[in-house]
Amino acid sequence: MSEDVHQRAERLIAANRVEGLSASDREWLNLHLENCSRCAKRADSTEQALRSLRSVSVRVGPGLIRATRLRVHARALELHERRTQMTMLWVSCALSWILGALSAPFVWRVFAWLGVHYKLPAIAWQLGFALWWALPAAAVAVVLVMRRAQTEGGGQSMDSLR
């Protein structure tokens, strides 16, 4: 048998314990294990290792338990706060878009009047109108980019608990 078949079997043996397998992958693996003693031994040794790990008891001090609970609680609060902030951001975006759409004809007239009153080229006041329309979206984009950069920064707020 090719080495790729055995590698696939090893990958499926591991995946079976972590995320589960589809019916077709499980069927293929079972058939392969019936015909390949090397992979069957690998599956048995994996099962024995997992049973051994489950039987190991680890004593943890109360200080570590308290610290872990504190960090999990702090992280849960942080995630809840972020979710609330993002909900508020989306609600304000929706309101901004609705109000922008409803007021666009009036704002267009104001920009046209300003263009005529100050003798501006049509492209200048039309560009001003476009910028007025795009400014809220640009502000939201900046906020989202900053938030993503903060999130990808590696959870700095959790480091402050150490």
Could you list the pLDDT tens digit for every one of the 162 residues in the chain?
566 888 999 999 988 877 888 999 999 999 999 999 999 999 999 999 988 888 888 888 999 999 999 999 999 999 999 899 889 988 988 898 899 889 999 999 999 999 999 999 999 999 999 998 888 788 888 988 998 888 777 554 444 444
Same domain? For 144 and 66 the reply is yes
pTM: 0.47
Cα 69 from Cα 75, distance rounded (Å): 10
Question: 115: which residues sit within 8 A by CB, 6+ positions away?
Answer: 121, 122, 124, 125, 126
- What is the count of structural domains for the chain? 2
Q: Using alpha carbons only, how large is the chain's radius of gyration in Å?
A: 30
Q: Which domain holds residue 14?
A: 3-55
Residues 114 and 132 in one domain: yes
Say whether both 18 and 36 belong to one domain: yes
Tokens of 118: 């100050």
| Same domain, yes or no: 98 and 39 | no
Query: Where among 55, 77, 97 does a domain terminate?
Result: 55
76 lies in the same domain as 95 = yes
Tell whether 103 and 88 lie within a shared domain: yes
* Cβ atoms < 10 Å from Cβ of 46: 15
Tell me: do 50 and 72 sit in the same domain.
no
Non-local CB neighbours of 129 within 8 Å, separated by 6+ positions: 107, 108, 111
